[in-house]
Amino acid sequence: MPPKKVRTLGADAAPASRSVSMSPASAGVDDALDLAHFTDTMSRLAATVCIAASADESERHARTVTAVTSLSAQPPSLLVSITKGSDLAHLIARTNRFSLNLLAEDQQEVGDAFAGKLRVEDRFSVGHWTQWPSGQPRLEGAATAIECRVAGSIDLDTHCLFVGVLTGAQTSEKKPLVWYRRGYHTLEG
Protein backbone atom coordinates (compact mmCIF):
# COMPACT_ATOMS: atom_id res chain seq x y z
CA MET A 1 0.00 0.00 0.00
CA PRO A 2 1.47 3.41 -0.94
CA PRO A 3 2.21 5.84 1.86
CA LYS A 4 -0.51 8.34 2.70
CA LYS A 5 0.18 11.86 1.49
CA VAL A 6 -0.88 14.47 4.06
CA ARG A 7 -0.84 18.21 3.44
CA THR A 8 -1.64 20.79 6.10
CA LEU A 9 -2.05 24.49 5.41
CA GLY A 10 -1.26 27.30 7.80
CA ALA A 11 -4.15 28.54 9.92
CA ASP A 12 -4.07 31.96 8.27
CA ALA A 13 -4.53 30.49 4.76
CA ALA A 14 -7.43 28.10 5.40
CA PRO A 15 -8.74 25.53 7.83
CA ALA A 16 -6.39 22.58 8.28
CA SER A 17 -6.37 20.78 4.95
CA ARG A 18 -5.31 17.18 4.54
CA SER A 19 -4.75 15.19 1.36
CA VAL A 20 -4.73 11.40 1.36
CA SER A 21 -3.92 9.18 -1.64
CA MET A 22 -5.52 5.79 -2.00
CA SER A 23 -6.39 3.23 -4.65
CA PRO A 24 -9.01 0.45 -4.62
CA ALA A 25 -6.39 -1.88 -6.12
CA SER A 26 -3.87 -1.08 -3.39
CA ALA A 27 -6.56 -1.57 -0.74
CA GLY A 28 -6.96 -5.18 -1.84
CA VAL A 29 -10.27 -4.71 -3.70
CA ASP A 30 -9.80 -7.16 -6.55
CA ASP A 31 -13.46 -8.13 -7.04
CA ALA A 32 -14.85 -4.71 -8.03
CA LEU A 33 -17.64 -4.53 -10.62
CA ASP A 34 -16.66 -4.11 -14.26
CA LEU A 35 -17.17 -0.62 -15.75
CA ALA A 36 -20.38 -1.42 -17.68
CA HIS A 37 -22.08 -2.98 -14.64
CA PHE A 38 -20.92 -0.13 -12.40
CA THR A 39 -22.17 2.66 -14.72
CA ASP A 40 -25.52 0.91 -15.23
CA THR A 41 -25.91 0.48 -11.47
CA MET A 42 -24.99 4.09 -10.70
CA SER A 43 -27.38 5.41 -13.39
CA ARG A 44 -30.15 4.46 -10.96
CA LEU A 45 -28.79 6.80 -8.28
CA ALA A 46 -30.81 10.01 -8.69
CA ALA A 47 -28.78 13.16 -8.00
CA THR A 48 -29.12 16.92 -8.20
CA VAL A 49 -27.25 18.32 -11.21
CA CYS A 50 -24.57 20.74 -10.00
CA ILE A 51 -21.88 22.95 -11.47
CA ALA A 52 -18.66 22.79 -9.45
CA ALA A 53 -16.52 25.85 -10.16
CA SER A 54 -13.36 27.56 -9.01
CA ALA A 55 -11.60 30.80 -9.92
CA ASP A 56 -8.62 32.98 -9.17
CA GLU A 57 -7.56 36.37 -10.57
CA SER A 58 -6.62 34.97 -13.99
CA GLU A 59 -8.82 31.95 -14.70
CA ARG A 60 -12.00 30.09 -13.89
CA HIS A 61 -13.04 26.51 -14.56
CA ALA A 62 -16.22 24.57 -13.95
CA ARG A 63 -17.78 21.21 -14.70
CA THR A 64 -21.19 19.54 -14.38
CA VAL A 65 -21.13 17.07 -11.48
CA THR A 66 -23.57 14.80 -9.68
CA ALA A 67 -21.18 13.08 -7.24
CA VAL A 68 -21.87 15.43 -4.32
CA THR A 69 -23.03 14.69 -0.80
CA SER A 70 -23.59 16.43 2.50
CA LEU A 71 -20.84 15.37 4.89
CA SER A 72 -21.34 16.98 8.29
CA ALA A 73 -23.31 19.68 10.09
CA GLN A 74 -20.34 20.54 12.36
CA PRO A 75 -18.47 21.93 10.62
CA PRO A 76 -21.00 22.43 7.81
CA SER A 77 -19.34 20.50 5.00
CA LEU A 78 -19.88 18.57 1.80
CA LEU A 79 -17.93 16.24 -0.45
CA VAL A 80 -17.55 16.64 -4.23
CA SER A 81 -15.78 14.34 -6.71
CA ILE A 82 -13.71 16.01 -9.47
CA THR A 83 -11.74 14.31 -12.26
CA LYS A 84 -8.14 13.99 -11.11
CA GLY A 85 -5.67 16.00 -13.19
CA SER A 86 -8.37 18.26 -14.67
CA ASP A 87 -7.93 22.03 -14.82
CA LEU A 88 -10.76 22.32 -12.30
CA ALA A 89 -9.10 19.95 -9.82
CA HIS A 90 -5.80 21.82 -10.12
CA LEU A 91 -7.51 25.19 -9.60
CA ILE A 92 -9.45 23.98 -6.55
CA ALA A 93 -6.25 22.56 -5.04
CA ARG A 94 -4.35 25.79 -5.74
CA THR A 95 -6.99 28.24 -4.45
CA ASN A 96 -8.43 26.02 -1.69
CA ARG A 97 -11.85 27.32 -2.68
CA PHE A 98 -14.73 26.28 -4.91
CA SER A 99 -18.40 26.93 -5.45
CA LEU A 100 -21.19 24.49 -6.02
CA ASN A 101 -24.27 25.61 -7.94
CA LEU A 102 -27.28 23.29 -7.69
CA LEU A 103 -29.20 23.74 -10.93
CA ALA A 104 -32.88 24.66 -11.03
CA GLU A 105 -35.18 22.57 -13.21
CA ASP A 106 -35.11 25.22 -15.98
CA GLN A 107 -31.28 25.22 -16.26
CA GLN A 108 -30.69 22.13 -18.43
CA GLU A 109 -28.80 24.27 -20.96
CA VAL A 110 -26.30 25.23 -18.24
CA GLY A 111 -25.87 21.58 -17.27
CA ASP A 112 -25.22 20.61 -20.89
CA ALA A 113 -22.73 23.45 -21.45
CA PHE A 114 -20.55 22.44 -18.50
CA ALA A 115 -20.90 18.73 -19.28
CA GLY A 116 -18.87 19.35 -22.43
CA LYS A 117 -21.42 20.29 -25.08
CA LEU A 118 -19.72 23.69 -25.41
CA ARG A 119 -16.05 24.55 -25.73
CA VAL A 120 -14.39 25.38 -22.41
CA GLU A 121 -13.98 29.05 -23.33
CA ASP A 122 -17.73 29.39 -24.13
CA ARG A 123 -19.25 27.68 -21.10
CA PHE A 124 -19.61 30.71 -18.81
CA SER A 125 -21.64 32.46 -21.56
CA VAL A 126 -24.57 30.19 -20.62
CA GLY A 127 -26.48 31.32 -17.54
CA HIS A 128 -26.06 34.51 -15.52
CA TRP A 129 -22.78 34.24 -13.61
CA THR A 130 -21.74 36.58 -10.80
CA GLN A 131 -19.30 35.89 -8.00
CA TRP A 132 -19.07 35.44 -4.27
CA PRO A 133 -17.03 38.06 -2.35
CA SER A 134 -14.13 35.58 -2.51
CA GLY A 135 -14.29 35.64 -6.32
CA GLN A 136 -15.74 32.14 -6.72
CA PRO A 137 -18.35 31.79 -9.51
CA ARG A 138 -22.01 32.00 -8.48
CA LEU A 139 -24.86 31.06 -10.84
CA GLU A 140 -27.84 33.38 -10.42
CA GLY A 141 -31.19 31.60 -10.64
CA ALA A 142 -29.78 28.34 -9.29
CA ALA A 143 -31.89 26.31 -6.86
CA THR A 144 -28.99 26.77 -4.41
CA ALA A 145 -25.54 28.33 -4.69
CA ILE A 146 -22.82 27.39 -2.20
CA GLU A 147 -19.32 28.73 -1.53
CA CYS A 148 -16.74 26.44 0.08
CA ARG A 149 -13.22 26.49 1.48
CA VAL A 150 -11.30 23.22 1.08
CA ALA A 151 -10.76 21.35 4.35
CA GLY A 152 -9.18 18.25 2.83
CA SER A 153 -8.99 15.95 -0.14
CA ILE A 154 -8.63 12.29 -1.05
CA ASP A 155 -6.90 11.27 -4.28
CA LEU A 156 -8.27 8.11 -5.87
CA ASP A 157 -7.26 6.45 -9.14
CA THR A 158 -9.27 8.74 -11.44
CA HIS A 159 -10.89 11.31 -9.17
CA CYS A 160 -10.14 13.62 -6.28
CA LEU A 161 -12.66 14.00 -3.48
CA PHE A 162 -12.67 17.53 -2.06
CA VAL A 163 -14.14 18.24 1.36
CA GLY A 164 -15.57 21.75 1.38
CA VAL A 165 -16.58 23.71 4.47
CA LEU A 166 -19.52 25.93 3.55
CA THR A 167 -18.69 29.62 3.92
CA GLY A 168 -21.70 30.97 2.02
CA ALA A 169 -25.06 29.78 0.75
CA GLN A 170 -27.87 31.30 -1.28
CA THR A 171 -31.07 29.27 -1.44
CA SER A 172 -34.33 29.66 -3.36
CA GLU A 173 -37.70 27.93 -3.57
CA LYS A 174 -36.89 26.63 -7.06
CA LYS A 175 -37.03 22.88 -7.63
CA PRO A 176 -33.71 21.20 -8.51
CA LEU A 177 -32.79 19.59 -11.81
CA VAL A 178 -32.21 15.86 -11.26
CA TRP A 179 -30.08 13.36 -13.22
CA TYR A 180 -31.47 9.81 -13.30
CA ARG A 181 -31.05 6.90 -15.77
CA ARG A 182 -28.79 9.04 -18.00
CA GLY A 183 -31.27 11.90 -18.41
CA TYR A 184 -32.69 15.06 -16.83
CA HIS A 185 -35.79 14.86 -14.65
CA THR A 186 -37.79 17.22 -12.46
CA LEU A 187 -39.49 16.67 -9.12
CA GLU A 188 -43.27 16.45 -8.92
CA GLY A 189 -45.31 18.07 -6.17
Looking at every residue in the chain, the average pLDDT score rounds to 88
Is 5 contained in some domain? no
Return the amino acid letter for 49. V
The per-residue DSSP string of 58-70 comes to: S-EEEEEE--EEE
Say whether pLDDT at 176 is over 70.
yes
pLDDT digits (tens, 9 = 90+) for 74-86: 999 999 999 999 9
Task: Give pLDDT, residue 24.
Answer: 59
**What average pLDDT does the segment 148-162 reach?**
95
CA distance 32 to 55: 36
Is the distance from CB of 87 to CB of 116 less than 8 angstroms? no
Is 118 contained in some domain? yes
pTM: 0.85
Closest by CA position to 165, among listed 147, 181, 178, 140: 147
Q: Pick the range with the lowest mean pLDDT from 19-28, 56-65, 154-163.
A: 19-28
pLDDT digits (tens, 9 = 90+) for 55-67: 999 999 999 999 9
Is 93 contained in some domain? yes
Is 127 contained in some domain? yes
Return the amino acid letter for 120. V
CA distance 54 to 173: 25
| Better-scored residue on pLDDT, 87 or 15 | 87
Is the distance from CB of 87 to CB of 168 less than 8 angstroms? no
Is 66 contained in some domain? yes
Task: Give pLDDT, residue 30.
Answer: 77
Domains: count for the chain = 1
Distance, C-alpha 157 to centroid of its chain: 17
CATH of the domain at 163: 2.30.110.10
CA distance 80 to 151: 12
Say whether pLDDT at 7 is over 60.
no
Residue 54 domain boundaries: 18-23+48-178
Say whether pLDDT at 188 is over 70.
yes
